[in-house]
Amino acid sequence: MTALGKEAELYEKLPNDKVKCTACARYCEIGKGQIGLCGIRGNEDGKLQLYAYGKVISGHVDPIEKKPLIHYYPGSKVYSIATTGCNWLCRYCQNSDISQRRKVEGIDMTPDDVANTAVKYGAHGIAYTYNEPSIFIEFARDCGLAARKKGLFNVFVSNGYDTPESVSMMNEFLDGITVDFKGNAEKEFTRKFIGVPDPQPIFDTLLEIRDKTKIHVEITDLIVPKVGDDLDHARKLSKFVYDEFGPEMPIHFLRFHPDYKMMEYPSTPVETLEKHYQVAKDVGLKYVYLGNVPGHKWEHTYCSECNKIVVNRYGFSIREWHLDKNIRCNFCGNHIPIEGKLQEGYKQDRFQFVS
């Protein structure tokens, strides 16, 4: 490792000292002395450098439900980290100060430092989030391997705009992933508001994860009013999830709030989210959730057999738990597809500032 970071692994060498990055589906071809769109992977003398290796711009401990991952080790705490940069250009990004920053900055941390910090603050795992983790996947992998040695799990909060090469590297260390669609994966929305010409690589990534790994997956979909809330596209996305992953795959419809370059748009009406919920249920999905609407009845997990509330939530907090040690409904015995037992400290404040 040098002052310029560390040589990346996911790339191919091209003629004339050019390189082709294979960490994300943009497949940037980068000339000598140039940097890819993400801002942290660049060509240094014909080699692809990950400039942000060992540079952590943000670190917090928070509930895993915030990711959101609510069918994976419920009640656990995760140490959430990010680097600068991103491979998407979302006009609504709530982390734009991190993701759209094109100067590599952050605190110097080795993978062991990251794992030790997670242990120090009592986290059960590490979440790679706030920006797209696939762009710093070599650093995430090294952190993840160090974390596993200490009994911690690893999860991504990802836009899913990945490649077979990055999924293969995920398989070395990753335990769970939230793949976050935007605007119902409508092509015109992704082109205009994200700067991505086609959402198809996200679908391809999900199938690659399904077929080549055992990573726990949950789906989210940010519903943006007026421009990213078409119910026909919501139905198409829900049917993809049902057909390819089955009725028990969790899907979360998230409420948009105005941010960054989309301050003129209103927050998503709750009624719009409820229509999306109903579309997904009509398709046959059993575990559909609404996010960013604390107190809504569809934050809870309902038993798919008796329809009783088996996990009662408010925001990121678990208020009631009605599942036995085998994750079966206390009312009817139906198994709920939640991986991992409820963590003992789930009623405590799981938000911690990391100095």
Is pLDDT at 355 greater than 80 in this prediction? no
- For residue 238 the two structure tokens come to 């829900």
Helix (H, G, I), strand (E, B) or coil at 196: coil
93 is in an annotated binding site: yes
Contact between 340 and 74 under an 8 Å Cβ cutoff? The reply is yes
- Which element (helix H / strand E) includes 137? helix 137-149
Of 53, 55, 73, nearest in space to 141 by CA: 53
Q: Where are the domains of the chain?
A: 6-50, 55-353
pLDDT digits (tens, 9 = 90+) for 90-143: 999 999 999 999 999 999 999 999 999 999 999 999 999 999 999 999 999 999
Distant-in-sequence, close-in-space partners of 2: CB < 8 Å, separation ≥ 6: none
Instruction: Give the up-direction half-sphere exposure of residue 242: CA atoms within 13 A in the CB hemisphere.
Output: 17
What digits encode the pLDDT tens for the residues 148-179? 999 999 999 999 999 999 999 999 999 999 99
Q: What percent of the chain has pLDDT over 70?
A: 99
What would the mean pLDDT of 52-71 be, rounded to a whole number? 97
User: How high is the pLDDT of residue 353?
Assistant: 82
- Is 86 annotated in a binding site? The answer is yes
Please name the helix (run of DSSP H) or strand (run of DSSP E) that holds residue 177, with its range, or none: strand 176-182
Q: Is the confidence at residue 3, as pLDDT, over 80? A: no
Residue 75: CB partners within 8 Å, gap ≥ 6?
63, 64, 318, 342, 343, 344, 345, 346, 350
Q: Which residues pair with 182 in a beta bridge?
A: 222
Cα atoms in the 13 Å half-sphere on the side-chain side of 251: 32
**Which residues, 6 or more positions from 294, have their beta carbon under 8 angstroms from its beta carbon?**
314, 315
Q: Is the pLDDT at 1 greater than 50, yes or no?
A: no
| Range with lowest mean pLDDT among 2-6, 80-84, 161-165, 298-302 | 2-6
Q: What is the DSSP string of 33-69?
A: T-B-TTSSEEEETTEEEETTTTEESEEEEEEGGGTT-
- For residue 4, what pLDDT band results from cuts at 50, 70 and 90? low
Asked: is 55-353 a CATH 3.20.20.70 domain? The reply is yes
Q: What is the mean pLDDT of the chain?
A: 97
- The residue written with tokens 């405590």 in the block is 348
CB 185 within 8 A of CB 202: yes
Q: Would the annotation count 303 as a binding residue?
A: no
pLDDT tens across 264-307, in order? 999 999 999 999 999 999 999 999 999 999 999 999 999 999 99
pTM over 0.85: yes
pLDDT tens, residue by residue, 207-235: 999 999 999 999 999 999 999 999 999 99
**How much is the average pLDDT of 325-336?**
98
